[in-house]
Amino acid sequence: MSAVGVKARTGSTALDLVLRFRALGLLVALTALVAVTTAVNPRFLGGQSVRDVLFAAAITVLLACGMTVVVLTRGIDLSVGSVLGLSAYVTASVLAESGMPTGPAMVLGLAVGAACGALNGVIVHFGKVPPLVATLGTLYVLRGVVYFLAGGSRINASDLPRAFLDFGNGRLLGVPYLFAVAVLVLVLVGVYLGRYRSGRDLYALGSNPEAARLAGLPAGRRLMTAYVLSGSLAGLGGVLYAARFGTVDASAGFGMELNVVAAVVVGGVAIFGGSGTVLGAALGALLLTVINNALPVLRIDQFWQQAIIGALILAAIALDRLVSIRAARALRQKGSHVD
């Protein structure tokens, strides 16, 4: 076997072990938190409480899947909260005011998100604007569009079709439809990243953009795919938001991008790109949701809730950095032995 083959195989094995360990760590932390909270208040594991957690986590998981795809390319999408708000308002307004059927209205909301994602991709790829700056700009622009469309008004649940609202609050065998949709998206995105070449190219692009381009990867096309997918899932999140809450105004999704980024980073997706899984991001979203629901039960001040989440983000970034340094050192040592 060639030295290059040994290095690639060694790097892949090391990465797999790291990702499995991170997912296991998240599961252990999640289990411990639930156990402690249940010991304080047994109703925390009651049926209604669990359903509330799943409802709260569903949209964050959905957006985290899209954010993961972008972060893998060394990018970021800070506009997802605004995209969700725009999609939610457009979907709700056409249902309430134009009488559009539910199906086409949901497709329209999804298309709004895809268009916003394409806008981000064009600015990043063709405009050569850093993703942080580009998506921060579209965050404010799209939020301004929502405020312009809403004009200080809001759409109430009484204005929306009953079937649409029933879907947003319905359950199948006790599991909310919204969470089932999030899990389905999680599986589809996971299969795309793991089984399809274009999905694996995103990892290569994030690991070493220059080498990926020299190897002939269609970097521009892959970047556009990543941002359109992120925007589409944010648009779908907006549709589900409108169905879940019914009442939609210009503040829909405000600040949600921070929760999504936190979930992705805590879930083990390297902020420097090139490694991570949607499963980890989903577990990160679920962990943060449980934290937000558990700490009030434990009578912990709101300040400490935010501080704990911030500490988790810093710890995740530090761990990613430590792992990358150790993995690079191991590969160098392995390569010297093979040579």
The per-residue pLDDT for 20 is: 53
* In contact, 71 and 131? CB cutoff 8 Å: no
> Using CA atoms, how far apart are residues 286 and 263, in angstroms rounded to an integer?
8
339 vs 25, which has greater pLDDT? 25
Q: How many separate domains does the chain show?
A: 1
Say if residues 326 and 319 touch (Cβ distance below 8 Å).
no
Q: What is the rounded CA–CA span in Å between residue 138 and residue 144?
A: 9
pLDDT confidence of residue 125 = 92
The enclosing H or E element of 176 equals strand 175-176
- What is the residue-averaged pLDDT of the chain? 85
- With beta carbons less than 8 A apart as the criterion, state whether 164 and 95 touch: yes
CB 338 within 8 A of CB 6: yes
Confidence of residue 27 (pLDDT cuts 50, 70, 90): confident
Give 155's strand partners: 248
With CA atoms as reference, report the closest residue to 290 among 42, 38, 33.
Answer: 33
Q: What is the pLDDT of residues 283-333, one digit of tens each?
A: 989 988 888 888 888 787 777 777 877 887 787 777 766 766 665 666 566
Q: What's the pTM?
A: 0.85
Determine which of 16-25, 105-114, 196-205 has the lowest per-residue pLDDT on average: 16-25
The boundaries of the domain holding residue 163 are 3-338
User: What is the b/e burial string over 19-35, where b = at least 16 CB atoms within 10 angstroms of the residue's CB?
Assistant: beebbeebeebbeebbe
Instruction: Tell me how far apart the alpha carbons of residues 134 and 222 are, in angstroms, rounded to a whole number.
Output: 17
pLDDT band at 10 (very low <50, low <70, confident <90, very high): very low
> First and final CA of the chain: distance in angstroms?
11
In the 8-state DSSP scheme, what is residue 155?
B
Report the CATH number at residue 222.
Answer: 1.10.3470
* pLDDT exceeds cutoff 70 at 337: no
Residues 6+ apart with CB under 8 A from 177: 167, 168, 170, 171
